[in-house]
Structure 1
Amino acid sequence: MQPTIKALMVQGTTSDAGKSILTAGLCRVLARQGIKVAPFKSQNMALNSAVTKDGGEIGRAQAVQAQAANIEPTVHMNPVLLKPNTDIGAQVIVQGKAITDMDAIGYHGYKKVVMGSVMESFGLLQDEYETIIVEGAGSPAEINLRQNDIANMGFAEEADIPVIIVADIDRGGVFAHLYGTLALLSESEQARVKGFVINRFRGDVKLLESGLDWLEEKTGKPVLGVLPYLHGLMLEAEDAINSQQVEAAEQQLNVVVPVLTRVSNHTDFDPLRMHPQVNLQFVGKDQPFPPADLIIIPGTKSVRSDLTYLCEQGWDKQIARHLRLGGKVMGICGGYQMLGEHIADPDGIEGPAGESEGLGYLATSTVLAKQKQLKQTTGSLTLPEQETVPVRGYEIHAGVTSGVSADAPVQLQDGPDGQLGLDNQVFGTYLHGIFEQQQACDAILTWAGLEATQTPDFDLIREQGIDRVADTLEQYMDLAKLWPQWAEKFTAEKSTDY
């Protein structure tokens, strides 16, 4: 009888090697075969987060991976989430709840404490699922972070699970990445590595074969798959901003998003990137705004400091000019707070305690509170001269905003949300994910000036992205070698046609 592998860990030679996507794809591959599978990432550092049904906060990548596994996400799929609020500090979220802020040195020591929560969550998932696909963080070869490690080999050793290592050939130096990463591991860590995966390959695989043979001979580890570059793949990014867009239609709405220093949940804009009638442009430091129909101020982990940054960039003046010329402005979460008259942080929730004047376009004021609002919600959206449409999304914010009218444009399960201002040129809301529903996206783009909107089905696009990754893994990976107990499920003929 073949041994049962209760978990498999995906580690990478670098950040953005493909760990998140590979984990999602493996979850979908196993779920297709009727295998109960769940994703897991012990420690995630990202400002893109999701809210579980029970009001916990986890990394968005784990929420997408849960979708790939056809299950509801829970806080135990990402027991430690770090949300940076300075260059050396972050909010520490354990099993879905924010517990404190720590600097890098303080957290390094705290890891040996939080390992108990990590193993508790992992154990709960193992009790419920046949197997777990575990995603590592960064690289296991980061020697300076080896002590008290809970994210890579430190976790793999504690949980006693096998590992595969993925590298991105598109970066160059793929054999050095794989060979060097393995060489920097301890003997026991090397022993649990079951093989390598090469990601984002373009060209004729025959030109790679001599390198593959060399790598297998030198390391004694098999190359489990060479995955082709998937052009136009749509899956939500774990943290880095994705500026890829679909081919544009003739009629377009120009949308500009300023990139704040602690921009959060920029996955809000993925449906706009995938919209053929939208030209979405992210504007970074020292860059002026290009001509726009709609400016959207995104969420941020540090609203007062990013409001200062926005003004230092001169973007406040550009927003004012844009409004004088008749353009529209929208704010989401922290961006919504900035559009109001006043922001106070009396307890220093997001930085030094103090108060800031807002941009003043909405008749609202916000006070940051210790208790963070975390919830999934549904409701309706009514914008001027339009019919009411349904909305759904999630809220993640420390702010309590006053001045919201009873007839606010967004009506949610527990009350009104958001506000319109400046003769309906300005709109703010706390609702993340508001562009993901076709009707709501249509309504906002119509309000911003787009005629004859044709918003695609974003839920379908995301599902197609997950399925595309799973199809690729089934075609190009030796899955039977990873799960010998299910070998008969993965006996389809493999392709090497790139």
Structure 2
Amino acid sequence: MVRVKPARALMFQGTGSDVGKSLVVAGLARAFTLRGLKIMPFKPQNMSNNAAVTADGGEIGRAQALQARAAGAPLSVHMNPVLLKPQSEVGAQVVVQGRVEGNAKAAEYQILKRTLMPRVLESFGLLRNQADLVLIEGAGSASEINLRQNDIANMGFARAADVPVVLIGDIDRGGVIASLAGTRLVLDPEDAAMIRGFIVNRFRGDPALFADGMRMIGELTGWHSVGLLPHFADAARLPAEDALGLNTPSVRKAGARIRIAVPILPHISNFDDLDPLEAEPDVDLIRVRPGQVIPGDCDLVLLVGSKATIFDLRALKAAGFDVDIAAHVRRGGRVLGLCGGYQMLGKAISDPEGTEGPPGSIEGLALLDVETVLAGDKRLEAVAGASFDGISLSGYEMHIGRTTGADCRRSFATIGGNPEGAISADGRVWGTYLHGLFSDDRQRSAWLTRLGGSASGLDYEAGVDAVLDRLAGHMEKHLDLDGLLKLAR
């Protein structure tokens, strides 16, 4: 339904990356939705290899997918009109309104940005005609004045769309007064005038101890305090967008019967495939980094997606993970490859057109009798079907490339009546292009049983929604939501 009057809008920018912008917008999206408002999330430009397939057949950043879920809104490419997906030597793949438009190195992209603002504003206008309130997330730091020219992600967008801004600072990393006041100092006066309020995020302890700090920030900047937001521990239960989350040290779970090892490679993508496994009490999920050894007692080696498959396969071999995986298989261990991980399990990967980097090819791990050619259109589609053991499944595909070979005759799944994926002759190595496999409770339960453990009965998707509800309550308690609505225009 097209609205007669455009929605109000409010933008949330940060003093730096990872200050909690995505989480704040998700929480506010759920909180305002529970108040009866129709909310649309929006991020002009995102950089992430963790993406989601939209209802209109494109892709957006995973954070916007979570925010849309919080708002009960169907995913649209217009929620994140510019998505940069970092690759190897070629810089980043540029996705505009859900479709790949090429690759660009950093300097090239700064020039390309000049042409993107009209399409960003077009997407924003379309969303604004469908909502009561549009919650906009900035990118990186608002104080990156060296990138201000042609900016479409922060103040450039706020000025072009005439949207007021709330600035978020992270007290957990220290120096929050200086970061907020310093942002006010370095910004162009007209940019600074767009900022109407501030939030101090991730506070731990007695809020009364920082009352003077909040007052001082207001005096130094002239901005209105929206609130002091305590650390929200349950954020760890929500799908992460930033690969920085993978740097959390693995902690052995007491009583867990299943050990799953995941090699962490430079261009890992769609790593939210790991979240449902991490939530299971019977699963000890071990992130293995270069310089470490894949544990000899693990039950499954899981290779997840990659945005630069050939590059990451070289990194896997350089780290010696190929030797560890081969030894694991010789001991009777099992291996599952998802998307790029599936491609790595084959005999060879070739990229004749330079889709993910310089044209070339590489020998794979040869654990599946298949070969992959990275060419053709990108496949972006939500799917449903059944796995090789007849258990129903749902998920999505997001990949470039075609994989063929003898092991494809033993398909991993049947999707729409067609075979998908491959299984080795001994039945201990599996490969599939499907993402979201473990978010499906039926599949996750079957896999944990297959590996000698048991599922907890967790309803993963309901659990995510429950966390979003608690996050909304957190926002209602600690932020001035009525004040935010007054700031929006």
TM score, norm. by length of structure 1: 0.93
Gaps (5+ residues) in structure 1? 487-498
Q: Which residue is 1:489 aligned to? A: none
Query: Is the CA contact 1:265–1:299 (under 8 Å) kept in the aligned structure 2?
Result: yes
Cα deviation, 1:389-427, whole Å, max 9, x if unaligned, reads 211111111111113645513111262111111511111
* Among candidates 93, 96, 99, match of residue 95 of structure 2: 93
Alignment of 1:21-32 (within 5 A): 21-32=23-34
Partner AA of 1:226 in structure 2: L
Is 1:260–2:262 an aligned residue pair?
Answer: no
Query: Is the CA contact 1:300–1:306 (under 8 Å) kept in the aligned structure 2?
Result: yes
Cα distance between partner residues in 2 of 1:60 and 1:143: 27
Could you tell which deviates more after superposition, 164-173 or 288-297?
288-297
1:249 Cα deviation after fit: 5.5
Partner AA of 2:194 in structure 1: R
* Among candidates 410, 415, 427, match of residue 418 of structure 2: 415
* Among candidates 443, 457, 466, match of residue 440 of structure 1: 443
In the comparison of the two structures, how many residue pairs are matched? Answer: 479
Is 1:327–2:329 an aligned residue pair?
Answer: no
Q: Which residue is 1:286 aligned to? A: 291
Cα deviation, 1:258-284, whole Å, max 9, x if unaligned, reads 111111111110111111111111111
Partner AA of 1:269 in structure 2: L
Q: Which residue is 2:343 aligned to? A: 337
Is 1:376–2:382 an aligned residue pair?
Answer: yes
Cα deviation, 1:291-340, whole Å, max 9, x if unaligned, reads 41111011101111111111111100000111111211110000001111
Partner AA of 2:478 in structure 1: Y
Partner AA of 2:11 in structure 1: M
Q: Which residue is 1:402 aligned to? A: 404
Partner AA of 2:385 in structure 1: G
Partner AA of 1:267 in structure 2: D
Q: Which residue is 1:496 aligned to? A: none
Alignment of 1:226-241 (within 5 A): 226-233=228-235, 234-241=237-244
Q: Which residue is 2:198 aligned to? A: 196
Going from structure 1 to structure 2, the CA distance change for 1:106 and 1:370 (only over 3 Å counts) comes to farther
Could you tell which deviates more after superposition, 201-210 or 361-370?
361-370
Query: Is the CA contact 1:12–1:19 (under 8 Å) kept in the aligned structure 2?
Result: yes
Going from structure 1 to structure 2, the CA distance change for 1:432 and 1:154 (only over 3 Å counts) comes to same
Query: Is the CA contact 1:298–1:334 (under 8 Å) kept in the aligned structure 2?
Result: yes
Going from structure 1 to structure 2, the CA distance change for 1:120 and 1:461 (only over 3 Å counts) comes to same
Going from structure 1 to structure 2, the CA distance change for 1:54 and 1:278 (only over 3 Å counts) comes to same
CA-atom RMSD, angstroms? Answer: 1.9
Cα distance between partner residues in 1 of 2:7 and 2:423: 54
* Among candidates 430, 435, 441, match of residue 433 of structure 2: 430
SS in 2 for 1:140: coil
Cα distance between partner residues in 1 of 2:260 and 2:313: 20
Q: Which residue is 2:105 aligned to? A: 103
Cα distance between partner residues in 2 of 1:230 and 1:65: 16
Going from structure 1 to structure 2, the CA distance change for 1:180 and 1:87 (only over 3 Å counts) comes to farther
Partner AA of 2:421 in structure 1: G
Query: Is the CA contact 1:246–1:273 (under 8 Å) kept in the aligned structure 2?
Result: no
Cα distance between partner residues in 1 of 2:36 and 2:476: 15
SS in 2 for 1:254: strand
Q: Which residue is 2:245 aligned to? A: 242
Partner AA of 1:304 in structure 2: I
Going from structure 1 to structure 2, the CA distance change for 1:4 and 1:196 (only over 3 Å counts) comes to farther
Is 1:346–2:352 an aligned residue pair?
Answer: yes
Aligned-residue sequence identity (percent) comes to 45
Cα distance between partner residues in 2 of 1:439 and 1:67: 21
Partner AA of 2:322 in structure 1: D
Cα deviation, 1:454-497, whole Å, max 9, x if unaligned, reads 252110121122112111110011111111399xxxxxxxxxxx
Alignment of 1:121-140 (within 5 A): 121-140=123-142
Alignment of 1:457-468 (within 5 A): 457-468=459-470
Partner AA of 1:321 in structure 2: A
Query: Is the CA contact 1:4–1:483 (under 8 Å) kept in the aligned structure 2?
Result: no
Cα distance between partner residues in 2 of 1:450 and 1:134: 45
Cα distance between partner residues in 2 of 1:266 and 1:122: 28
Q: Which residue is 1:206 aligned to? A: 208
1:246 Cα deviation after fit: 9.6
1:453 Cα deviation after fit: 2.8
Query: Is the CA contact 2:29–2:41 (under 8 Å) kept in the aligned structure 1?
Result: yes
Q: Which residue is 2:281 aligned to? A: 276
Gaps (5+ residues) in structure 2? none
Cα distance between partner residues in 2 of 1:436 and 1:419: 21
1:446 Cα deviation after fit: 2.4
Q: Which residue is 1:316 aligned to? A: 322
Q: Which residue is 1:358 aligned to? A: 364
Query: Is the CA contact 2:423–2:430 (under 8 Å) kept in the aligned structure 1?
Result: yes
SS in 2 for 1:213: helix
Superposition misfits of 4+ residues, deviation over 3 angstroms: 243-249, 404-407
Cα distance between partner residues in 2 of 1:485 and 1:193: 10
1:36 Cα deviation after fit: 1.1
Partner AA of 1:437 in structure 2: D
Cα distance between partner residues in 2 of 1:165 and 1:62: 19
Partner AA of 1:230 in structure 2: F
Partner AA of 1:433 in structure 2: G
Cα distance between partner residues in 1 of 2:117 and 2:331: 55
1:445 Cα deviation after fit: 2.2
Cα distance between partner residues in 2 of 1:155 and 1:45: 16
Cα distance between partner residues in 2 of 1:262 and 1:153: 29
1:73 Cα deviation after fit: 0.7
Q: Which residue is 2:75 aligned to? A: 73
Cα distance between partner residues in 2 of 1:8 and 1:194: 10
Cα distance between partner residues in 1 of 2:303 and 2:239: 19
Going from structure 1 to structure 2, the CA distance change for 1:422 and 1:167 (only over 3 Å counts) comes to farther
Query: Is the CA contact 2:348–2:362 (under 8 Å) kept in the aligned structure 1?
Result: yes
Could you tell which deviates more after superposition, 73-82 or 340-349?
340-349
Going from structure 1 to structure 2, the CA distance change for 1:271 and 1:164 (only over 3 Å counts) comes to same
Alignment of 1:139-154 (within 5 A): 139-154=141-156
Query: Is the CA contact 2:196–2:487 (under 8 Å) kept in the aligned structure 1?
Result: no
